[in-house]
Structure formats: C-alpha cells, structure tokens
Structure 1
Amino acid sequence: MRGTVYKSTGSWYAVLGQDGQMHECRIKGKFRVQGIKSTNPVAVGDLVQFELEQSGDNPHGVIFDIVERRNYMIRKSVNLSKQTQIIAANIDQALLLITLNNPPTLTPFIDRFLVTAEAYDIPVILVFNKIDCYSAEERFEVDYLLSLYRTIGYTCLLVSALTGTCVDDLKQMMEGKTSLVSGHSAVGK
C-alpha cells in the first residue's frame, strides 16, 4: 500500500494510507536512501510503500520503499556532525515564524534557513508573529526587516495569533499545500 508519512517518533512512523486510515509503521531492517547519509532515512512528507502485518492484536505496517522525493530539507545532526537529519520531504512551501523577542529570532538564523530552503527549491514565507506585543521601536525594526526581505523577493506576513491579525491570510496561503512550519521554540508555531 502507498501512503504519506505524517509523523515520525523514533523508529515508528504514522502513515496516512491510500485507504484513508492512519497506520503505525516501522522501517524494514537497515534502510538507507541512496546518496543521503542521514540519521533518519524516512521523513515526514515522504511517500512510502508499506505492507500491513499482524502481530498480536495490533496490526502495523512495514515500510519497504520510499517514492523518489520531489525535494527535502535537511540540517546537520546535533550529535553526529558528519550526518544530516532530514527535516521534511515533498514540501510545497516553508513558513518561518519570526519574533523579535520572547524569543528573539536573529537575522543569521533567518538567513541560514533561507539559504537552506533555496538550495532545495523550497519557497519560503516569513511570518512575523506576535506583532501585537511590539513597542514602536520594535515595530520600526520589523518594518526594516520586512523591507529587506521583501526587496529580495520573499513573501512576508505580519501576524498576531492573539488578535487574529492576518491569521485568515496565513490559512489561505497554506490551504491545499504541504507546508513546513519552522522557528524557535515559543514563537507560536
């Protein structure tokens, strides 16, 4: 059966099968994707082939193949610097959530994310969140960043989850697309 990986937790994967059901799956033995040395051969967004097996009362799937990826995003593995970690695959767009404070998102982080996405042909939307929390001085800084990133061709959106500002616009941009949502912890993903 064919399906899409929706969640990855250690050696188990939640796969939405073509039957419309969510299946708990694992990979079969030593599974490597040709050309990529990664800590996780299967990633969220992968289209996979799997077989259902019955073990006790709980049927589960065994992934035996990955359909060729349209694209993917990787990062260096934290503990194993010579290996990479595949963050997600078959992505239509990436959303980077940015906040000036609580926590601050620094421009080198934004730029590294943009370079990585560009390398894998993944369009990025920069989402400046928590705009209701900014002082006049901070709003000036946000306006500067908006001007900078829009000038070089990036879509930018000012959002406040608290007040609902541009939340509908964000939903519309995401509708019908596979989106990677990224950002520091506590930015409002």
Structure 2
Amino acid sequence: MKSLKCMIILACLVELSLSQILDAGTCNQNIPTVQNFNANRYLGRWYEQEKYPFIFELGGKCIYAQYGLLPNGEISVYNFNINKLTGLPNDIQGSAKIVGPGKLQVRFNNMPAFVGAANYWVLDTDYENYAVVYSCTDILGFVNGQVVWILTRERNPHPQYIERARHVIKSNGLSLRPLQRTIQTGCGSN
C-alpha cells in the first residue's frame, strides 16, 4: 500500500513537471479548436516562435516539429532543438492520434507508461503560415498544467502571423503573459 502511494505521488510530480503554467481547477474542455481540421495540410515542418515555459524545451533554441503520415493513419511526431549551453542537438519522436476536430493525443517514445498521452489541440491555423496549439493536463482534479505554442512555417515569419496567433490566444481567455520567445537564430541548416 505504501509503494502504491509513492507511485501515485511520483506520477503526480511527473505530471506537474511536464506542464509549467499551473492554474486552479480542471482543464477547460470547451476551448474551441479547428472544427474542419485537415491533418494532411498540417503535415510538414513547424517552427516554434513563442511558448509557455515547458520543461522538455528548457534551454533549447532552434525548436521545430516535423509531422508526417504513418501507414496506420496516425501522425509521426519529431521534435528537435539545440541546447543553448552545449550546442548539442536534442530530439524526441512519437506519434499522434486524432481524437476529435482539431484535437490530437501525442505519445512520445521512451516515456514511462504512466505519463500517458498529451493533449495537442489546434486552436487555429491557416496551414500555410501559423498555428496556435494548446495543451492542458488535469492534475489530481483540482489543478491543471497548460502549455501554449505559436508555430509558423517559416523560421523568421512576418510579424502579422505572430500577432494573429496572439489574438487567438487572448480571444480564448488564455494569458499572453507567460509567452516566451524561442530563439531561431544560429541554427545552421537545422
């Protein structure tokens, strides 16, 4: 019984560490997502421009995600960054399953089974220039952890796309305050 309690506490601590912006209450399940989401148009490379602090990207620059189609109909996920201190590349791979309009669940390889799949909700995209992605995880039923990403097709996008994405975030009742700019310079050919 004592070991079960320890495992539950450990699982909760892992969940807390995965999401960096904590809020009281449970995740809002009514945040609107792209209703006619077209996964095929979404495939390809997306550069991270801004995000809420996120443990997996701590100390990273030149961050991008590459999405492809798997034979089973799921989406392959490849996330890449360069460590700002060491200059060494970091990457992680996984897969995503569409679970609703604009809603995906992502599972990364080599993660402990108790971590489970992460929500990946596309709040808005024009497929050609920008996307706004939201993830929220309920923790113990009374607190939640949130992450928001602004992604663009170009490493150095026109500012209008960042502003459009920020408007989407704000109009969904999410805060712009935690957003941090992702360094996309000194990336070489990555």
**Which structure shows the higher strand fraction?**
2
Coarse TM-score class (shorter-chain normalised) = under 0.3
Which structure: larger Rg? Answer: 1
Q: TM-score, normalised by structure 2?
A: 0.26
Of structures 1 and 2, the one with the larger relative CO (CA 8 A, separation 6+) is 2
Q: TM-score, normalised by structure 1?
A: 0.26
